[in-house]
Structure 1
Amino acid sequence: MTTLDTDVVVIGAGPVGLTLANLIGVRGHRATVLETRHELIDYPRGVGLDDESIRTLCTAGLWQQIQPYTVPHHVVRLVNGEGRVLATNDPKSQEFGYPRKHGFIQPLVDKELAAGLDRFPGTTLRFGHRVVGLEDRGDHVAVTAEQLGAGGDVTGTLTLTARYAVGCEGGSSFTRKWMGVQFEGKSPSTRWVVVDVDNDPIGTPSVYLGADPRRPYVSIGLPQGIRRWEFMLHDDEPTELVDDPAFMHSLLQRHVPDPAALTIINQRTFTHHGRVAADFRKGRVFIAGDAAHLMPVWLGQGWNSGIRDATNLAWKLTAVLGGDAGDALLDTYTDERRKHASDMIDVNMAAGTVMKMGRLGGRLRDASASALNLVPKWKSYFTELRFKPMPRYASGVVVDQATLTPGRAEAGFKRGRLAPFTDSAGELSPVGLQFIQPRVNTSSATDVLLDEVTGDWWTLATWGTDPTAFLSPADLELIHRHRITLVSFMPETQRAWAEKRYADSPAPVTVVGDHTGALKDWFDVRACGLVVLRPDRFVAAACLTQQAPKALAAVVTAGSLVKEGGRR
Structure 2
Amino acid sequence: MTTVDTDVIVIGAGPVGLTLANLIGVRGHRATVLEARHELIDYPRGVGLDDESVRTLCTAGLWERIRPYTVPHHVVRLVNGAGRVLATNDPKTREFGHPRKHGFIQPLVDRELAAGLARFPGTGLRFGHRVVGLEDRGDHVAVTAERLDADDRGTGEVTLTARYAVGCEGGSSFTRKWMGTRFEGKSPPARWVVIDVENDPIGTPSVYLGADPRRPYVSIGLPQGIRRWEFMLRDDEPTESVDSPAFLHSLLERHVPDPAALTVINQRTFTHHGRVAAEFRKGRVFIAGDAAHLMPVWLGQGWNSGIRDATNLAWKLTAVLGGDADDTLLDTYGEERRKHASDMIDVNMAAGSVMKMGRLGGRLRDVAASALNIVPKWKSYFTELRFKPMPRYATGVVVDQVTLTPGRAEAGLKRGRLAPFTDSAGALSPVGLQFIQPRVNTSGATGILLDEAIGDWWTLATWGTDPTAFLSPADLALIRRHRIALVSFTPETQRTWAEKRYAGSPAPVIVVGDRTGALKDWFDVRACGLVVLRPDRFVAAASLAQQASRTLAAVVAAGSLVKEGTPA
| Residue pairs, 1:131-146, within 5 angstroms | 131-146=131-146
Residue 230 of structure 2 aligns with an amino acid whose one-letter code is E
Match of 1:30 in 2: 30
CA contact 2:523–2:529 (8 Å) conserved in 1: yes
Residue 252 of structure 1 aligns with an amino acid whose one-letter code is L
Match of 1:506 in 2: 506
Aligned pair in 2 of structure 1 residues 204, 257: CA closer, same or farther (>3 Å)?
same
Partner SS, residue 7 of structure 1: strand
Q: 1:365 deviation in Å?
A: 0.1
Q: Deviations over 1:539-562 (max 9, x none)?
A: 000000000000000000000000
What is the rounded CA distance, in whole Å, between the counterparts of 2:360 and 2:567 in structure 1?
64
CA contact 2:421–2:527 (8 Å) conserved in 1: no
Q: 1:416 deviation in Å?
A: 4.7
Task: Kindly indicate whether residue 214 of structure 2 is the aligned counterpart of residue 214 of structure 1.
Answer: yes
What is the rounded CA distance, in whole Å, between the counterparts of 1:32 and 1:543 in structure 2?
40
CA contact 1:323–1:566 (8 Å) conserved in 2: no
What is the rounded CA distance, in whole Å, between the counterparts of 1:294 and 1:237 in structure 2?
25
What is the rounded CA distance, in whole Å, between the counterparts of 1:416 and 1:155 in structure 2?
65
What is the rounded CA distance, in whole Å, between the counterparts of 1:132 and 1:416 in structure 2?
53
What is the rounded CA distance, in whole Å, between the counterparts of 1:122 and 1:56 in structure 2?
22
Q: 1:413 deviation in Å?
A: 1.3
What is the rounded CA distance, in whole Å, between the counterparts of 2:310 and 2:285 in structure 1?
14
CA contact 1:197–1:227 (8 Å) conserved in 2: yes
Match of 2:10 in 1: 10
What is the rounded CA distance, in whole Å, between the counterparts of 2:567 and 2:498 in structure 1?
30
Q: 1:487 deviation in Å?
A: 0.4
What is the rounded CA distance, in whole Å, between the counterparts of 1:349 and 1:421 in structure 2?
39
- CA RMSD in angstroms, aligned pairs only: 0.8
Q: Deviations over 1:162-194 (max 9, x none)?
A: 000000000000000000000000100000000
CA contact 2:439–2:516 (8 Å) conserved in 1: yes
What is the rounded CA distance, in whole Å, between the counterparts of 1:562 and 1:209 in structure 2?
50
| Residue pairs, 1:77-476, within 5 angstroms | 77-419=77-419, 424-476=424-476
CA contact 1:488–1:509 (8 Å) conserved in 2: yes
What is the rounded CA distance, in whole Å, between the counterparts of 2:293 and 2:417 in structure 1?
36
CA contact 2:413–2:422 (8 Å) conserved in 1: no
Q: 1:417 deviation in Å?
A: 4.1
| Residue pairs, 1:29-48, within 5 angstroms | 29-48=29-48
Partner SS, residue 424 of structure 2: coil
Partner SS, residue 236 of structure 1: coil
Partner SS, residue 28 of structure 1: coil
Q: 1:428 deviation in Å?
A: 0.6
What is the rounded CA distance, in whole Å, between the counterparts of 1:296 and 1:88 in structure 2?
20
What is the rounded CA distance, in whole Å, between the counterparts of 2:566 and 2:127 in structure 1?
35
What is the rounded CA distance, in whole Å, between the counterparts of 1:163 and 1:527 in structure 2?
41
Match of 1:551 in 2: 551
Q: 1:425 deviation in Å?
A: 2.1
Residue 286 of structure 1 aligns with an amino acid whose one-letter code is F
What is the rounded CA distance, in whole Å, between the counterparts of 2:337 and 2:538 in structure 1?
13
Residue 505 of structure 1 aligns with an amino acid whose one-letter code is S
CA contact 1:372–1:378 (8 Å) conserved in 2: yes
Partner SS, residue 166 of structure 1: strand
What is the rounded CA distance, in whole Å, between the counterparts of 1:23 and 1:448 in structure 2?
21
CA contact 1:322–1:566 (8 Å) conserved in 2: no
CA contact 2:197–2:265 (8 Å) conserved in 1: yes
Task: Kindly indicate whether residue 536 of structure 2 is the aligned counterpart of residue 536 of structure 1.
Answer: yes
Q: 1:3 deviation in Å?
A: 1.2
Give TM-score, length-normalised by structure 2.
0.99
Residue 154 of structure 1 aligns with an amino acid whose one-letter code is G
Match of 1:515 in 2: 515
Q: Deviations over 1:449-482 (max 9, x none)?
A: 0000111100000000000000000000000000
Query: What count of residue pairs does the alignment treat as equivalent?
Result: 568
CA contact 2:437–2:449 (8 Å) conserved in 1: yes
Q: 1:424 deviation in Å?
A: 3.1
Residue 89 of structure 2 aligns with an amino acid whose one-letter code is N
Partner SS, residue 325 of structure 1: coil
CA contact 2:402–2:416 (8 Å) conserved in 1: no
What is the rounded CA distance, in whole Å, between the counterparts of 2:405 and 2:566 in structure 1?
24
CA contact 1:74–1:205 (8 Å) conserved in 2: yes
Q: 1:506 deviation in Å?
A: 0.2
Residue 559 of structure 2 aligns with an amino acid whose one-letter code is G
What is the rounded CA distance, in whole Å, between the counterparts of 2:122 and 2:566 in structure 1?
23
Match of 2:486 in 1: 486
What is the rounded CA distance, in whole Å, between the counterparts of 1:37 and 1:73 in structure 2?
33
Aligned pair in 2 of structure 1 residues 415, 120: CA closer, same or farther (>3 Å)?
closer
Residue 60 of structure 1 aligns with an amino acid whose one-letter code is A
What is the rounded CA distance, in whole Å, between the counterparts of 2:215 and 2:416 in structure 1?
52
Partner SS, residue 266 of structure 1: strand
Match of 1:58 in 2: 58
Aligned pair in 2 of structure 1 residues 85, 420: CA closer, same or farther (>3 Å)?
closer
Give TM-score, length-normalised by structure 1.
0.99
What is the rounded CA distance, in whole Å, between the counterparts of 1:311 and 1:178 in structure 2?
24
Residue 264 of structure 1 aligns with an amino acid whose one-letter code is V
Q: 1:418 deviation in Å?
A: 2.5
Q: 5+ residue gaps in structure 1?
A: none
Residue 37 of structure 2 aligns with an amino acid whose one-letter code is R
Aligned pair in 2 of structure 1 residues 423, 430: CA closer, same or farther (>3 Å)?
same
What is the rounded CA distance, in whole Å, between the counterparts of 2:3 and 2:535 in structure 1?
29
Task: Kindly indicate whether residue 109 of structure 2 is the aligned counterpart of residue 74 of structure 1.
Answer: no
Q: Deviations over 1:92-142 (max 9, x none)?
A: 000000000000000000000000000000001000000000000000000
CA contact 2:414–2:422 (8 Å) conserved in 1: no
Q: 1:302 deviation in Å?
A: 0.1
Q: Deviations over 1:335-358 (max 9, x none)?
A: 100000000000000000000000
What is the rounded CA distance, in whole Å, between the counterparts of 2:170 and 2:421 in structure 1?
50
What is the rounded CA distance, in whole Å, between the counterparts of 1:144 and 1:417 in structure 2?
56
CA contact 1:79–1:211 (8 Å) conserved in 2: yes
What is the rounded CA distance, in whole Å, between the counterparts of 2:496 and 2:423 in structure 1?
29
Residue 261 of structure 2 aligns with an amino acid whose one-letter code is A
Q: 1:2 deviation in Å?
A: 1.7
